Structure 1
Amino acid sequence: MLDFRNLLCAALAASLLFSASEAEARFGKRSPSSDSEKKEDKEDKDDKKQERRNPSQVHDASGVGSHSPPPPPPPPPQQHVVIVEQPAPTYYVSPPPDPEYAARASAVIAERESSVYRFLRFGIGGGPMGGGAGLDLFLAVEGERLGLDGRVTGLSLPTDDGTEGTDGITVAGAHLTYALVAAQRLHWRVEAGISTARAPSLIVTGPSLGTSFDARLVHALDFESRVQVTPLPYRQLDAQAGLAWKPYPWVLRAGWRALVLDDAGLVDGVVHRDVFNGPYFGVGVFF
């Protein structure tokens, strides 16, 4: 009698044998289904690897032998045209000169040139006087009526006792002036102030009065005269007259001057009087 265990082992071995044969026959068979499945599995694996390498480049699978169309060319870059508007040029056209204004301006200039009135006058002059020489400086500031006049005169004279050397005398004065007549071609002023004289042995100061006169003769040519008096404590008389040519702003002067000085005996009780006169020449400016 056969052993039951031996029979069971034989049956198990036979079943394993048959199952192995079926597996080997399937492995070596070229079935289209199995090839396509393996090919699909391989393509799926390749697609997954490609996605892992570059996730952005994912495309649909194409059949064998088919060619995918080339990608469309990128659009051309957009060009922006900027139009800048230039401002229109501005032209300034000066109005034609007003003939009336030009005539009025010319009239004003001509009136000022023909007038004897000047706001500021400054001058220097000199000439031979009493055997010596004199030098004169003056400055005058004047409004339409009121003004201020200052003058200094220095004399260098030979000694009167025959000794060597020179004697120096200086006279000066400051006057407040007022124009009694202030016309365009005529100016007449009265003056009042102080005067002083300085000699080798005397320095003295006293009140001073004066008057001056300017008149236009022809274009830029004036007649000028002035007189100044100091009555006490010493006596002084200063007078001059001459012509002045005034091409703006210069002044050229020429004329005659006389100066009388009397000390009234203030030095030693004896009256000493000198008279100096002679031509003078000068230059100055005015505004």
Structure 2
Amino acid sequence: MTKILVTGGNGQLGNSINSIKDKYSNLEITFTDIDSLDICNIDDIEKFVHQNKFQYIVNCAAYTAVDKAESEENLATKINATAVENLAIVAKNNNCKLINVSTDYVFDGNAHKPYIEDDNTEPTSVYGKTKLKGEQLAFASKAECINIRTSWLYSEFGNNFVKTMIKLGTERDQLGIVWDQVGTPTYAVDLAKAILDIIESTSSGEKEFQSGIYHYSNEGVASWYDFTINIHQIYDINCDVTPIETKEYPTPAPRPCYSVLNKAKIKNVYSITIPHWRNSLERCIESIKAEQ
């Protein structure tokens, strides 16, 4: 039995891992969140990991309030960078493997083709800068670490863009949605499956745990406008959605205007199959409807 610690268990990705864990009978997963383990306290992590003899740590904890981070840089740094370093140090001390989840916001968004893992990182927001710092600190610790960058995460859990567009679409007759920011919506359950598949294949010896940076998002490309149109079509919402430019919807933190990720590396190294974003969106909305 492979023992795994998942931090940020109450978040989207943590809940998504929890929702599919029963399909992995050889994995024993312990979920924690701030109320049960403070990952900003390295002594607490060390004690908890040592006692439970975990073989893998999956860090799903993050400060994700992108705009708020502009005025709460210290807190964002503490959670997105210092805590990641803590987990990496403890992982190394306990012969444990770390899987850390990062973001497309480490890029400036000025590319014209999908980003590969080795492309220059130029984050333009505090959120992006703190997430990049977390990546760097994890690798500096010399821990065995897989760092997965993802984008536009949504699920049936917590608050996210899909749920917001369903809510607003049913409350309003018209919405203006940004069309000049392009990326890929990613269903958190798909990312959760990729993470558990990697753990299953590396713990069994079928695959080698290869430290490094990997990109994972669903297949395909969309703007926020395209994404919204599809959400409403699938949910059967009748709302007039108008495309607007980023400059018409100013936010404290700048967003990458292009953040499509190239997933060839994770597909090749770990034989990961990735669904198209539209198909995954249908599955998510079906699940949301089933819970209502």
TM-score of the two chains, using structure 1 as the length reference: 0.20
Structure with bigger helix share is 2
Which one has the bigger strand percentage? 1
* TM-score, structure 2 normalization: 0.20
Larger radius of gyration: 1
